Structure 1
Amino acid sequence: MSDIMSNNGSAVVAMNGKNCVAIGSDLSFQVERQHIGRIFKVYQITDKILLGLTGLLSDCVSFYQLVRYHIAHLKLTEGRTIQPKSFIHMVSFLLYSKRWQPYFVEVVIAGLDEDGKPYISSSDTVGSMTEPEDFVVGGTATQSLLGAAECFWEKDMDSEALFEATSQTLLSGIDRDSYSGWGAVTYILTPEKLITRYLRSRQD
């Protein structure tokens, strides 16, 4: 029996580029290595923020719904759209407020601020956050993703180079983690548009 954080398995990676940011995840939905189907693990929060969730699937869905409520409430009461750096602080607060009965989720965030500067961050189950300048990973494939990301990431990559680095990191990590797989999806966010590309990976 695995621990609760690896019950459903996942692999998520986000990388900074030059005026762009990318985030990708596998598509596998499985319970204790038994494949059930496919599910998306990256959600679009605003036009400039993407949220990746790993961990226990039921908690991921519940936490996403909680985040959507707070984003909608903010827009309704204050008439503004939240920025990525403010968003991770909101996420951190929501997770920390439930620290005694935590959501079993890890958070990976990728976005562009109002000046078009890329921003990535992550948080553990109790809201302890990191804000790296290069890349961030999460899920059961964390160890294999870290090694691959260190090899593929370079400073100031354009959108195409960033897509290639993120995708190769993701596929490399998936190949070395039996809890994740069954295809992947990578999102590239630029000031002008959001690009979605699907990847083939192992099917076992």
Structure 2
Amino acid sequence: MFDTLINADMRPVGHHFQPYADNGGTVVALAGPDFVVIGSDTRLSTGFQILTRDQTKLFELTPKCILGSTGCWCDILTFRKVLDARLTMYSQDHNKTISTPALAQLLSNMLYNKRFFPYYITNIVAGLDTDGRGCIFSYDPVGHCERNTYTAGGSSSALIQPLLDSQVGLKNQEGVPARDLTLESAKNLIKDVFISASERDIYCGDSVDIRIVTKDGIQTETMALRRD
């Protein structure tokens, strides 16, 4: 159907269909040899309005896996509801909890199944793999999946990703030996990048929700950010 029609006066009339909204939010994840740390801000906004200052973008899927989602909040809630149903079916069919790599593939298949009318969200899956190593999977809206050791998604990703490339990935640095992140340095780095992002991105702020996944389970920490 044409998006421009001609009325009786032969003047063009535009018709637009915009089903999506961008409610902001940022997620950052870092993986180590036996842990993964993922954080999100808690500001949920639309345009120049703040809807709430206390809404995390992180969801615990298994005792070893966290999902971080940003973008259209109604799509996030719908996707979470469908994903919960699929995880319940998996546990009942196989009589075990799904592993993080298998869950990452399931999420990719679900996103690809909606490729003609995709969820308007950015997803990051962070957890421990079957060997107990930290792993991170990042996605585009139609399901392309990539395993990483660090990544950022959401409204501040263009600000944070170059910093992670420099400090964690050591991109374009010669003579700098590669090193594994420690848990303490990963937590401090996530706090630092959110403090920096909140200075430049109005859709990132209020506080940071941080989840640390280890073999002992999931721990939670919070840190205040600027509220203006």
Which range, TM-score by smaller chain? over 0.9
One-letter identity of the residue aligned with 1:188: I
Specify which of 215, 219, 228 is matched with residue 191 of structure 1: 215
Unaligned stretches of 5+ in structure 2?
1-17, 170-178
Residues 111 and 142, structure 2, Cα contact 8 Å, conserved in 1: yes
Tell me how far apart the structure 1 counterparts of residues 20 and 140 of structure 2 sit (CA, whole Å): 11
Q: Which residue of 2 aligns with 1:27?
A: 42
Tell me how far apart the structure 2 counterparts of residues 5 and 178 of structure 1 sit (CA, whole Å): 20
Q: CA deviation at 1:173?
A: 2.2
Structure 1 outlier segments of 4+, above 3 Å: 3-6
Q: CA deviation at 1:4?
A: 7.7
TM-score, normalisation: structure 2: 0.83
Q: CA deviation at 1:22?
A: 0.5
* Structure 1 residue matching 2:105: 3-state secondary structure: helix
* Structure 1 residue matching 2:44: 3-state secondary structure: strand
Q: Which residue of 2 aligns with 1:172?
A: 196
Tell me how far apart the structure 2 counterparts of residues 6 and 181 of structure 1 sit (CA, whole Å): 19
More displaced stretch, 50-59 vs 173-182 = 173-182
Cα shift readout 1:41-99 (whole Å, capped 9, x = no counterpart): 00000000000001100000110111111001100111111111111111111011011
Q: Which residue of 1 aligns with 2:62?
A: 46
More displaced stretch, 152-161 vs 16-25 = 152-161
Tell me how far apart the structure 2 counterparts of residues 10 and 96 of structure 1 sit (CA, whole Å): 23
In the TM superposition, what are the counterparts of 1:57-72 in structure 2 within 5 Å? 57-72=73-88
Q: CA deviation at 1:148?
A: 2.6
Q: CA deviation at 1:108?
A: 0.5
Specify which of 8, 16, 21 is matched with residue 31 of structure 2: 16
Q: Which residue of 1 aligns with 2:118?
A: 102
Cα shift readout 1:175-200 (whole Å, capped 9, x = no counterpart): 22111211111111111132211011
Q: Compare CA radii of gyration and give the structure with the larger one.
A: 2
Residues 35 and 134, structure 2, Cα contact 8 Å, conserved in 1: yes
Q: Which residue of 2 aligns with 1:123?
A: 139
Q: Which residue of 2 aligns with 1:135?
A: 150
Specify which of 154, 162, 167 is matched with residue 186 of structure 2: 162
Residues 5 and 105, structure 1, Cα contact 8 Å, conserved in 2: no
Q: Which residue of 2 aligns with 1:78?
A: 94
Q: Which residue of 1 aligns with 2:168?
A: 153
Tell me how large the CA RMSD over aligned residues is.
1.7
* Structure 2 residue matching 1:67: 3-state secondary structure: helix
Tell me how far apart the structure 1 counterparts of residues 67 and 87 of structure 2 sit (CA, whole Å): 13
One-letter identity of the residue aligned with 1:108: I
TM-score, normalisation: structure 1: 0.92
Unaligned stretches of 5+ in structure 1?
none
Tell me how far apart the structure 1 counterparts of residues 112 and 130 of structure 2 sit (CA, whole Å): 27
Q: CA deviation at 1:174?
A: 2.7
Q: CA deviation at 1:151?
A: 4.0
Tell me how far apart the structure 2 counterparts of residues 169 and 115 of structure 1 sit (CA, whole Å): 29
* Structure 1 residue matching 2:137: 3-state secondary structure: strand
Q: Which residue of 2 aligns with 1:56?
A: 72
Tell me how far apart the structure 1 counterparts of residues 195 and 57 of structure 2 sit (CA, whole Å): 15
**Structure with higher RCO (Cα < 8 A, 6+ apart):** 1
Q: CA deviation at 1:144?
A: 0.7
* Structure 1 residue matching 2:50: 3-state secondary structure: strand
One-letter identity of the residue aligned with 2:220: T
